[in-house]
Amino acid sequence: MRNIWIICRKELRSYFVSPIAYLLLTMFAIIFGFFFWNSLGYFVLMGMESQMRGQPFPMNLNEEVIRPLLSNAAVIGLFFIPMITMRLFAEEKRTGTIELLVTSPIRDFEIIIGKWLAALILYATMLLFTAVNFAFLFKYGNPDWKPLAVGYLGLLLMAGGLLAIGTFISTLTKNQIIAGAATFGVCLLLWVLEWVSGYETATWAKVLSYLSVVTHFQSSFVKGVIDTKDAIFYLTVIFLGLFFTTRSMESLRWRS
């Protein structure tokens, strides 16, 4: 446990002393802020229209603002995850510092979990910026906080899975660009897989759509529902991703 924390702190530090963290946080804050502004503007317009028609219908901040925004955050996250994970192992392999880690009295999985955890913490920090936006809703309206909290939990689980995949891909190469591009491709694919369910109902389509990381978020967490089935899906992805990373590190030793 102590070793995991040592690695994690070192990774967080190198995110935050380099421009990477600030760049990612700023970009995410701007993009998400833009989505928030649009979404809120539309909500306000709808509210005014319904009042002008003289027959106001019930409007719900949770359903009409928070929910679509959480979905947006999930998708924006897909684009940022490769940039978080690409350097994790690729850089250490290129500079040779991996030799220090591997020859220290610390287990492979401690290195891997430490790095993955640091990536997850950076992602969580990004999500913090969405909370700044949502805080305004709580100031001027009264949305329910529980579905929002569940939504965040879902986002973290989903990101945890994708970050684990990214970590794995980063062990495969010395080149950060390759690691980043490959992770981006996989993330994108895992998102669009659900589209097949739109026109096809055969078993293969169901399987493909099941594999899509976004489906499991859309079907429960975003609605404020914790579905064990979906939680287990994400936990499995996390486990498999990290498991393959340990295997990859082992084979690195046999080959290198």
Partner 1 sequence: MIKVTELTKKYARTVAVDQISFEVEKGQIVGFLGPNGAGKTTTMRMLTCFMPPTSGSATVAGFDVLEQPLEVKKRIGYLPETPPLYPEMETSEYLTFVGKLKGLSGPELKKRVDSVCERCAVADVKTKLLGKLSKGYRQRVGLAQAIIHNPDVLILDEPTAGLDPKQINDTRDLIKSLAGDHTIILSTHILPEVEQTCEQVIIINKGKLVATDSVHNLQARARGAESVLVEIAGRNGNLDLTAVQKRLEQIGGVSRVQYKTSHANRNIFEIESQKGFVRGDLARAVVEAGWDLNELKSAAMSLEEIFLQLTRGEVKEAAAKGAQ
Q: With binding defined as CB under 8 A, does residue 246 bind partner 1?
A: no
E strands, the chain, are none
Q: Quick check: 256 binds partner 1 (CB under 8 A)?
A: yes
φ, ψ for residue 86, nearest 5 deg? -60, -30
* Listed ranges 6-14, 38-46, 119-127, 209-217: which one lies at the site for partner 1 (CB under 8 A): 6-14
When binding is defined by CB under 8 A, the residue of 6, 29, 188, 196 that contacts partner 1 is 6
Binding map of partner 1 across residues 42-81, x = CB under 8 A, - = no contact: ----------------------------------------
| Minimum distance from residue 2 beta carbon to partner 1 (Å) | 8
Name residues contacting partner 1, limited to 89-118 (CB under 8 A). 95-107
- In the bound state with partner 1, the residue whose beta carbon lies nearer, of 228 and 256, is 256
Please state, as a whole number, how many other Cβ atoms lie within 10 Å of the Cβ of residue 17.
Answer: 9
Nearer to partner 1, 101 or 186 (CB): 101
Is 10 a binder of partner 1 (CB under 8 A)? yes
Q: Which is nearer to partner 1, 62 or 245 (CB)?
A: 245
How many residues make contact with partner 1 (CB under 8 A)? 24
Residue 244 Cβ vs partner 1, minimum distance, rounded to whole Å: 20
* 76: nearest Cα among 19, 133, 116: 133
Rounded CA gap, 49 and 63, in Å?
A: 18
CA dist 242 and 4 (Å) reads 14
Of 97, 92, 117, the residue nearest 12 (C-alpha) = 117
- CB of 38 or CB of 104, closer to partner 1: 104
175 touching partner 1, by CB under 8 A: no
d(Cα 39, Cα 34) in Å, to the nearest integer? 9
Q: Token digits for 228?
A: 């064990």
Q: Find out whether 73 and 127 touch, Cβ atoms under 8 Å.
A: yes
Residue burial 227-255, b: 16+ Cβ < 10 Å; e: rest: eeebbebbeebbeebbebbbebbeebeee
Residues in touch with partner 1 (CB under 8 A): 3, 6, 10, 13-14, 17-18, 95-107, 253-256
